[in-house]
Structure 1
């Protein structure tokens, strides 16, 4: 099985830890069973050519179900989807798609404490708040968002949000790592194992703490955990080339592009 095929099949399986799948033409529409929204994906290996009419049928189904129309896919395994989505009026973006096998791993050590988070709702909520601040100011540039903004985001979270994080942690479907300073958690990220494949997601650093190698430290710690627990292929999609370069420091290399449209 090719690396792209393994990645595509993993990306089709991983939503099922928090959603149910419904077939609509060439797509599987994942309907969330948690507090987070999901998306639709083309069925791996179907080999069909996606047309704008297929997007319109999916749009009608999403409207009837009161769901947002959102698509994710591997560009190289379904090259027709991007043009079809654009023709249907959706905004289409592509991101670098990277993988790493066990032999490629290059451990990155940080002077700060970096560890897998425990099964604590409060700690997981703090970690999620770091990600919310980080992705509210995307990129790698140093910014002003720091611990005060993190704490404000944590206070804004609904109670059910923390409970959902804890349930996924206990089920082993999300593993989260964090970097600590004397001001608490300042960088965070997760991996989501399905069998022997996992994806690193949500790696973010408080803007005030960027350019210190913390993103690489988080990625390294997550890779170390994944490879020690039965995973032999890791993947991720990067926001842009600058972010992809951070992941390449620990052994990831590019194999294609992840597409998204909404």
Structure 2
């Protein structure tokens, strides 16, 4: 099986830990059973040529169920979806898609403590806050978001959201790593194992702590845990070519692109 096919199969299976699958034309629509929404994906291996009519059928089904009309896919395994989505008026983006096998793994360390976190509500609340602050200022540039911003974000997170994170951690659906500074976590990330593959997601560093190799260190910690626990292929999508280069330090290599589409946001 090719890397692209294996990644496509993983990405189709991963949402099932928090959603039920509904067939809609050439798509599987993942209807969330937890507190965050999911998306639709083309059925892996179907070879279907997606049309605007297919997308309009999916849009209607999403509206009927009160679900967001969002799509994710591997561009190279469904090349027709991007053009059809653009023709249907959706905003289409693509991101570098990378994989890593054990033999290519290059561990990256940091002078700060980096470790896998237990399923602790306090620690997962802080880790999620690091991610929210980090993704609120995309990219790799040093910024103003630091400990105070993390703590404010942590305080605003609902107990329901944190309970869901703890539940997923306890079930083994997600594994979180964090880097500790003098005042708690300053970088964090997650890997999500399904069988012998896992995806690294949500790697973020507080903007005030960037350019110290912490994102690569968190990723390295997650990859090591994955390989030590039955995984033999790790995948991820990077937000940009610059961010992809961070993961390439750990040994990841690019195999294609992850596509995403959603309704265009109205101009302000």
TM-score range, shorter chain: over 0.9
1:116 matched to which residue of 2?
Answer: 116
Q: Give 1:122 shift.
A: 1.0
Q: 4+ runs of 1 displaced by more than 2 Å?
A: none
Tell me the SS of whatever aligns to 1:72. Answer: strand
In the alignment, does 2:228 pair up with 1:205?
no
**How far apart, in 1, do the equivalents of 2:76 and 2:88 lie?**
20
2:265 matched to which residue of 1?
Answer: none
Tell me the SS of whatever aligns to 1:173. Answer: coil
Q: Give 1:61 shift.
A: 0.4
Q: Give 1:119 shift.
A: 1.5
**How far apart, in 1, do the equivalents of 2:159 and 2:234 lie?**
32
1:161 matched to which residue of 2?
Answer: 161
**How far apart, in 2, do the equivalents of 1:3 and 1:178 lie?**
29
1:248-259 pair list within 5 angstroms: 248-259=248-259
1:83-162 pair list within 5 angstroms: 83-162=83-162
Q: Deviations over 1:192-234 (max 9, x none)?
A: 0000000000000000000000000000000000000000000
1:70-89 pair list within 5 angstroms: 70-89=70-89
Question: TM (normalized to structure 2)?
Answer: 0.97
**How far apart, in 2, do the equivalents of 1:3 and 1:89 lie?**
31
**How far apart, in 2, do the equivalents of 1:159 and 1:231 lie?**
31
Q: Give 1:183 shift.
A: 1.4
Tell me the SS of whatever aligns to 2:107. Answer: coil
Tell me the SS of whatever aligns to 1:29. Answer: strand
1:16-95 pair list within 5 angstroms: 16-95=16-95
**How far apart, in 2, do the equivalents of 1:260 and 1:36 lie?**
17
Tell me the SS of whatever aligns to 1:100. Answer: strand
**How far apart, in 2, do the equivalents of 1:99 and 1:111 lie?**
26
**How far apart, in 1, do the equivalents of 2:193 and 2:234 lie?**
9
Q: What is the RMSD of the two structures over their aligned residues, measured on CA atoms?
A: 0.4
Tell me the SS of whatever aligns to 2:90. Answer: coil
**How far apart, in 2, do the equivalents of 1:113 and 1:228 lie?**
19
**How far apart, in 2, do the equivalents of 1:203 and 1:58 lie?**
31
- Kindly tell me the number of residue pairs found equivalent between the two proteins: 262
**How far apart, in 1, do the equivalents of 2:143 and 2:183 lie?**
17
**How far apart, in 2, do the equivalents of 1:59 and 1:127 lie?**
34
**How far apart, in 2, do the equivalents of 1:127 and 1:251 lie?**
24
In the alignment, does 2:177 pair up with 1:177?
yes
**How far apart, in 2, do the equivalents of 1:228 and 1:46 lie?**
33
**How far apart, in 1, do the equivalents of 2:103 and 2:16 lie?**
29
Tell me the SS of whatever aligns to 1:91. Answer: strand
Q: Give 1:168 shift.
A: 0.3
**How far apart, in 2, do the equivalents of 1:164 and 1:68 lie?**
20
Tell me the SS of whatever aligns to 1:20. Answer: strand
Question: TM (normalized to structure 1)?
Answer: 1.00
For structure 2, the residue ranges without an aligned partner over 5 or more in a row are 263-268
2:241 matched to which residue of 1?
Answer: 241
